Each structure stands twice: as structure tokens, then as C-alpha cells.
Amino acid sequence: MWFPEEARRIQQLDLSSFTATTPAFWATQRADELDQLIMSATGQLARLISQAPPYAADWPVDLAEAARPPEGVGMERL
């Protein structure tokens, strides 16, 4: 399966095992696990953001052309 390199570099958090979020879900141990997972991820994200360099108006802009999908693959650029 073809997937653009720029999309493959995106870090993800798989929450697919928490898709049964009916009202009864929120009274279960799984809801607590989901909460802990989200808290951990947001903490990691906050640390990463705090390490980002300050904004600079003169940052270069990369206008490189995106990779083209292989022939026959009907997928728009992400």
C-alpha cells in the first residue's frame, strides 16, 4: 500500500480499543485507562512543545514539490 512519506512520519496514538464509548463505558476501568492514556500523551506533547524553538519571522519556507503517488493509485496529497 502506498502512503506518502510525510504522512508516515506523523506520530499517532491508537485509541481504537476505546471506541465503545456508550454512557456505561464511563463507569468502567477502561474509561480510567483511556483517561490515563490521554493524560500521558498530553504530558508528552506539552514537553515537546516546550522544547520548540521560538517563532522567527524569517524562517525559510520549504516549497518542495510533494511526491506523486504511483500510477493507478487514486489518493490525494495529504
Write out pLDDT tens, residues 33-53: 999 999 999 999 999 999 999
pTM of the model: 0.55
Q: Specify the DSSP class assigned to residue 64.
A: P
C-alpha count within 13 angstroms, C-beta hemisphere, residue 2: 13
Alpha-carbon span 56 to 60, nearest angstrom: 9
pLDDT greater at residue 3 or residue 78: 3
